[in-house]
Structure 1
Amino acid sequence: MHETTVVGWDASETAERALEWAIARAEMQAEGRRRLRLVRAVDDTGLAGDDDETRAELQRAEVDVAERAERIRAEHPGLEVEAAAVRGEPGDVLADRTGDDSLVVVGAENGRTDEYWHSSRLGPRLAGAADGPVAVIPVGDVLERSGVMVAVDHGAAAERLCRLAADYAAKRGETLHAVHVGARTHDVAQDTEVVDHALAPALADHPDLAVERHVDSGPTAPALLRRAREHATVFVGSRQLGTVRRMFLGSVSHALVTNARCATIVVPPVSGLHSEDDATRA
């Protein structure tokens, strides 16, 4: 699952940071599954149908992304690298490449820089429209962090989310931190059972994985954001309603993505698994 790592790349600082993370992730994959795809979207929404200008921009993008892919091949000969320039709005182009066989990676800016307003919108919009997991990789923060955090709730989607997070933590040799946020009047014992149930399949896959359980209370998004500051990677489920793609995430995953200070991976529910109790309600 998620064998191919797809990167939205446009030569910006945010895209280069995302690419760096994506290369490291692709190199963790098993032999024969170390596939990396660079996708350079040429946004033609502001070109007013000028085909000559669009074609010229597309040609420049094809050269740029091909050159970047060639450098990656030279520096990382163990990776299978593909590159493409595609005409279309970046969010739509990348959403079309999401699914159960790929992880799509994009960059995000943390500060009020020239790139902030674009990159801060792309991550949550893409994650809300995606058919598969999306990793949002921020820049602008230099604190050292460790550990993989997974936001845990009820249901089969939570078990799947924990398995994905545990697999990633095992490959990185890091501790998995399972965090559940209950109500203000929550029962700690019952909430711990929720965490244990969600973790059970993951621990069956990785019996030697170091795991820490955390049960908090209060508003979900602020509690998860406090925990997320401590870790290098965060996994969170998304709550997608209906049969059409959503353009926006719910409050929890949106808060985590837009305030990300570490790699944040948003995982949508699988068709047939989704219910009101699935994953972390986002």
Structure 2
Amino acid sequence: MHEATVVGWDGGRTAEAALAWAIARAERQPAGARKLRIVRVFDEAAIAGEDRAIEDLVRVAESDADAAGLRVRTEHPSLEVEVEFVRDEPGEALRDRTGDDAVVVVGAENGRTDEYWHSSRLGARLCGMADGPVAVIPTDDPGSRSGVLVAVDHGLAAQGLCRFAAAFAASAGESLHAMHIGSRSHTVGVDVEELEDALGPARREFPDLEIVTHVESGPTATTLLRRAEDHDTVVVGSRGLGAVGRMFLGSVSHAMVTNARCPTIVVPPARR
């Protein structure tokens, strides 16, 4: 599952950060599954001008995307690279490319920038309506970090989230830090037991993976953001409401996508 890597790209600084992360992710896939798709979405509805001028911009954007694809093929010959040019609204176009077969990657606006559509604003909206995992990649690296942090709730969705995070950590050669944050009145023993239940399938599937568990209490988003400062990647779940609830990502996931200084992957519940 999620073998292919799809990256939204427009040539800007945030998109280049997303592309670099996507390339690294694609190169870690097993032989035969190292597939990278570069998607350049041109939103002509957002541009004012005469039809001829817009068509000129379309040709330039399409040429730039082809050049990016050639660059990646040349520098990373082990990858199977596809370039797709789409005339559509970016969020809708990238949402249509999410699902069980791919991770979709976009850049995050986490500093002063004039870029717009590959910013965290797109990232949060896309995560809220996606049918599969979305990785939102910041441009500024605050320093050396390690390990994959997964925020774990309870129930069957938590097991799927832990399995995804474990697979990602194993492929990256990182340890997995599974964290549950309870209310101030939580019972630690119960939380530990439920956390281990959520991790059960991941432990069985990846017996050699180092898994560290953490149980804390306090404000969920604030605690996760503090922990995220020490880790290379954060994995969180979404409500999985799809197109109907596209603006309802959830406060914790939204906080991580818009504020985390490390790559954040938002995973919706598995479709049944």
Measured against the shorter chain, the TM-score band is over 0.9
Instruction: Evaluate the alpha carbon distance shift between residue 242 and residue 175 of structure 1 in structure 2; reply closer, same or farther with a 3 A threshold.
Output: closer
Query: What stretches of structure 2 of length at least 5 have no aligned partner?
Result: none
Q: Which residue of 1 is the match for residue 93 of structure 2?
A: 93
Paired letter, 2:2: H
Pairing 1:169-208 to 2, within 5 Å after superposition: 169-208=169-208
Q: Which runs of 4+ in 1 moved over 4 A?
A: none
Instruction: Evaluate the alpha carbon distance shift between residue 242 and residue 17 of structure 1 in structure 2; reply closer, same or farther with a 3 A threshold.
Output: closer
CA offsets 1:60-107 (integer angstroms, 9 cap, x no match): 111111111011111111100000221112111111111110110001
Instruction: Evaluate the alpha carbon distance shift between residue 246 and residue 116 of structure 1 in structure 2; reply closer, same or farther with a 3 A threshold.
Output: closer
Shift of 1:112: 2.6
Paired letter, 1:73: R
Aligned Cα RMSD in Å?
A: 1.6
Please, what TM-score do these two structures have when normalized by structure 1? 0.92
Q: Does the aligned pair in 2 maintain the 1:129–1:245 contact within 8 Å? A: yes
2:9 paired with 1:9: yes
Paired letter, 2:69: A
Paired letter, 2:115: E
Q: Does the aligned pair in 1 maintain the 2:129–2:242 contact within 8 Å? A: no
Instruction: Evaluate the alpha carbon distance shift between residue 141 and residue 116 of structure 1 in structure 2; reply closer, same or farther with a 3 A threshold.
Output: farther
Local SS of the residue matching 2:44? coil
Q: Does the aligned pair in 2 maintain the 1:58–1:86 contact within 8 Å? A: no
Q: Which residue of 2 is the match for residue 270 of structure 1?
A: 270
Q: Which residue of 2 is the match for residue 276 of structure 1?
A: none
Shift of 1:56: 2.2
Q: Does the aligned pair in 2 maintain the 1:15–1:107 contact within 8 Å? A: yes
Local SS of the residue matching 2:14? helix
Paired letter, 1:163: R
Shift of 1:55: 2.5
Supply the distance in 2 between the matched residues of 1:48 and 1:114 (Cα, whole angstroms). 18
2:147 paired with 1:144: no
Shift of 1:257: 0.3
Paired letter, 1:169: A
Supply the distance in 2 between the matched residues of 1:35 and 1:117 (Cα, whole angstroms). 24
Supply the distance in 1 between the matched residues of 2:208 and 2:184 (Cα, whole angstroms). 33
Q: Which residue of 1 is the match for residue 35 of structure 2?
A: 35
Shift of 1:142: 2.9
Q: Which residue of 2 is the match for residue 20 of structure 1?
A: 20
Shift of 1:54: 3.2
Q: Which residue of 2 is the match for residue 244 of structure 1?
A: 244
Paired letter, 1:109: E
Supply the distance in 2 between the matched residues of 1:264 and 1:81 (Cα, whole angstroms). 24
Local SS of the residue matching 2:97? coil
Q: Which residue of 2 is the match for residue 52 of structure 1?
A: 52
| Aligned residue-pair number | 272
Local SS of the residue matching 1:139? coil
CA offsets 1:211-253 (integer angstroms, 9 cap, x no match): 1100011221111111111100011000133772513411010
Local SS of the residue matching 1:45? helix
Report sequence identity in percent. Answer: 63
Q: Which moved more, 1:54-63 or 1:34-43?
A: 54-63
2:81 paired with 1:81: yes
Query: What stretches of structure 1 of length at least 5 have no aligned partner?
Result: 273-282
Supply the distance in 1 between the matched residues of 2:229 and 2:138 (Cα, whole angstroms). 13
CA offsets 1:163-218 (integer angstroms, 9 cap, x no match): 01101111111110000001101111110111100111001011111111000112
Q: Does the aligned pair in 1 maintain the 2:180–2:195 contact within 8 Å? A: yes
Paired letter, 1:226: R
Instruction: Evaluate the alpha carbon distance shift between residue 173 and residue 223 of structure 1 in structure 2; reply closer, same or farther with a 3 A threshold.
Output: same
Pairing 1:103-182 to 2, within 5 Å after superposition: 103-115=103-115, 119-182=119-182
Q: Which residue of 2 is the match for residue 257 of structure 1?
A: 257
Supply the distance in 2 between the matched residues of 1:127 and 1:218 (Cα, whole angstroms). 25
